Structure 1
Amino acid sequence: MTLQSRNASPLYKAEAEWVKNVHSTRQKLAGICAQCLNRTVRVQTIDGHTFEGVVIGHDHTYLHIASRDTRFWGPASSAAITTLVLFELLVITLLI
């Protein structure tokens, strides 16, 4: 470790309130995702991207959906796994 790296200051440090909100939101979304397991959903991200598919898995960071969306995988794919970051989700809609 060099002298310079020991005295380095962070370029960014998340505010404590933001960190608390992210943890709370991730926990809430993980619970919602668990209720949607093996069900068809439409998900919109905070950036305005929309995905539809069947929820096949989740953890406290990611949502995994099996999608027939060929925008990213091409027409040859029958089902692709799309992984979305929980704190980037804006809306999850259960499709009947």
Structure 2
Amino acid sequence: MYNQPVVNSNPSGEAVYQMDPAMVEKLHHMKQHIHGICKKHMHRPVRVQTTHGTTFEGYIIHIDDVHLYLNPLPGHVRGFFNPLAAAQQQYAYNNVILPLVLFNLLTIALL
């Protein structure tokens, strides 16, 4: 069943992987740096590119320890067409928020 507990296949408790402490410190410093930049540019239009090459444009509306929350610019949201709402497009509200993981951000540029 899907909701059954996972049986520990490593009963000795030996670590399979452990990050180098210097890398942990570097990642922590990088996260603090990105967090400071994002806080400084809250509610401003930005272009964000991820390490995977995806680009988003929008407003930084929130940031926490793990995510940057971006409200995309009008026309920059990809989604499915809703035929029921098509007649009322002038009343549509852009309420999409994209959570982007801080460690996947490559660039943040002001628009």
Give the alignment's TM-score, normalised by structure 2: 0.73
Where in structure 1 do 4 or more consecutive aligned residues deviate above 2 Å? 68-71, 73-79
Q: 2:30, 2:55 → 1: CA distance?
A: 19
What does residue 102 of structure 2 align with?
86
How many equivalent residue pairs? 91
Of 40, 57, 63, which residue of structure 2 is paired with 1:58? 63
C-alpha RMSD of matched pairs (Å): 1.9
Q: 2:81, 2:62 → 1: CA distance?
A: 24
Is the helix fraction higher in 1 or 2? 1
> Highest Rg: 1 or 2?
2
What does residue 21 of structure 1 align with?
26
Identity rate, percent = 35
CA offset digits 1:18-70 (Å, max 9, x no partner): 11111000000000000111111000011111111111000121100001432
**For structure 1, which runs of at least 5 residues remain unmatched after alignment?**
none
**1:13/1:91 CA distance change after superposition, 3 Å:** same
Is the strand fraction higher in 1 or 2? 1
